[in-house]
Structure 1
Amino acid sequence: MGRLVSLNVGGSEPNPAKNSGLTTGIGKRPVDHAVTVRRPGPKTTGLHSGVVGDFIGDTRHHGGDDQAVYAYAVEDYAWWSAELGRDLAPGLFGENLTTEGLDLYNAVIGERWQVGDQVILETTFGRIPCSTFQHRMAEPRWIKRFAASNRTGAYLRILQEGSITPGARIEVIARPDHGLTIAEAFDIYMHNQQDLARLLVAEALPPQLRTDIEARLAATPR
């Protein structure tokens, strides 16, 4: 059993990491009221974020049904705080849900969370860091360091829509038997592609990611 320690929403802001005129919603801030989550639809043509009122600037790489909500754990923030030697506030990594009491590092792809009384979410994959994240953190080699840690947080799809309130309980109500964790899957995808076939055991993988993996496997000499 876990708890939602911070519910974070971001508005549109200039993106200094990208070309002039582009915007970002990575600057998420805690809210103290209930927020509605609903399926946003396709990545590029839908509502983008699954959290009502939350903004996503790079709709090519973020948002959509398979990345509708992003969660990061205070336990992993504590690990990074020790690594970086500074305090890290909830929402800094651009997550919608800052969790406590859930082992996101060992979360299994396809496990289902009930958040409060209404919402059910399903883990899909980890977060691949980008230049916007690098600029926000202002840490040397941040993209490589974040990727190497495998402490990626969890993207989630929305299985049951509803309202989420800060402080809500989070319960893992189902976990697939395949045992493939987000950390293991991310490590394989980013660093050990000889093991890519292992990822296909997870039915909850985003379809676009599965297609990419299958294409890579087909192109690999046997």
Structure 2
Amino acid sequence: MSMDADPISGASPPPGRVVAVSLSATHSFSKPNVPVIRLLAGLGVAGDAHLGETVRHRSRVAVDPSQPNLRQVHLIAVELLGMLQAAGHAVAPGALGENVTTQGIDLLALPAGSRLQLGETAVVEVTGLRNPCAQIEHFQPGLLAQVLGRDGEGRLVRKAGIMGVVLAGGPVRAGDAISVTLPPLPHRKLERV
């Protein structure tokens, strides 16, 4: 099922868009913005420290370096950054380590397996939620509490973005359109990866 048209009115929703793209060749917390990133199928972001078929996040490598890399691309909505700024945090695109800062798509509401087409050719399949760790608190005190919460039933809610794997490669730039294709029903809610 595609999110191309509203099932009731038939109107197409405004597309999401890429606000910024970022990468870092080192395991730094923040990633500087760049004019363009190149997604590589099955690997991630060319030149990024998390590029690879197997896990690259240091905590995951320490447990089992042969695990598949389900965290090839990190996406955060600019709307989250705005909420954090309103709470007094100095954050901008790339500051929380994301590769792609989006606008106009409720990333956290997507089901697992959703596909995001970024620009003309790149496709990322959503694998799960980013699990914010103590590094985010070291970056800015109080930030961890802002990206973690509880729902009405007391369950932990992670708001620090989503992770995905690259199905189709290509360049991604600020201003590129993002389209979403949902997986077949039944949908699985996002869990931490």
Contact map agreement 2:89 2:140 (CA 8 A) in 1: no
- Assess, with a 3 A threshold, how the Cα gap between structure 1 residues 86 and 144 changes in structure 2: closer, same or farther: closer
The aligned amino acid for 2:148 is A
Give distance in 2, aligned partners of 1:137 and 1:152.
14
How far residue 64 of structure 1 moved from its aligned partner, in angstroms, is: 5.5
Q: Secondary structure at the match of 2:38?
A: strand
Contact map agreement 1:9 1:31 (CA 8 A) in 2: yes
Residue aligning to 2:29: 26
Q: How does 1:40-55 map to 2 (within 5 A)?
A: 50-55=44-49
Contact map agreement 1:118 1:160 (CA 8 A) in 2: yes
Give distance in 1, aligned partners of 2:72 and 2:121.
16
**Correspondence for 1:35 among 27, 37, 45:** 37
How far residue 137 of structure 1 moved from its aligned partner, in angstroms, is: 2.1
**TM value normalised by structure 1:** 0.64
How far residue 145 of structure 1 moved from its aligned partner, in angstroms, is: 4.5
Q: How does 1:1-222 map to 2 (within 5 A)?
A: 1-12=15-26, 24-32=27-35, 34-39=36-41, 50-56=44-50, 58-61=57-60, 65-82=69-86, 84-139=87-142, 142-148=143-149, 149-182=157-190, 185=191
Unaligned residue ranges in structure 2 (runs of 5+): 1-14, 51-55, 62-66, 150-156
More relative contact order, 1 or 2 (CA 8 Å, 6+ apart): 2
Contact map agreement 1:120 1:160 (CA 8 A) in 2: yes
Contact map agreement 1:39 1:68 (CA 8 A) in 2: no
Q: CA RMSD in A?
A: 2.4
**TM value normalised by structure 2:** 0.73
What percent identity do the matched residue pairs reach?
Answer: 27
How far residue 35 of structure 1 moved from its aligned partner, in angstroms, is: 2.0
How many residue pairs end up in the alignment? Answer: 162
More strand, by proportion: 2
Give distance in 1, aligned partners of 2:82 and 2:128.
21
How far residue 164 of structure 1 moved from its aligned partner, in angstroms, is: 1.5
Contact map agreement 2:130 2:158 (CA 8 A) in 1: no
Contact map agreement 1:112 1:174 (CA 8 A) in 2: yes
More helix, by proportion: 1
Runs of 4+ in 1 over 3 A off after TM superposition: 56-60, 62-65, 142-145
How far residue 98 of structure 1 moved from its aligned partner, in angstroms, is: 0.2
Give distance in 2, aligned partners of 1:40 and 1:28.
21
Q: Secondary structure at the match of 1:89?
A: coil
Q: Secondary structure at the match of 1:123?
A: strand
Unaligned residue ranges in structure 1 (runs of 5+): 13-23, 42-49, 187-208, 210-222
- Assess, with a 3 A threshold, how the Cα gap between structure 1 residues 133 and 61 changes in structure 2: closer, same or farther: farther
How far residue 87 of structure 1 moved from its aligned partner, in angstroms, is: 4.1
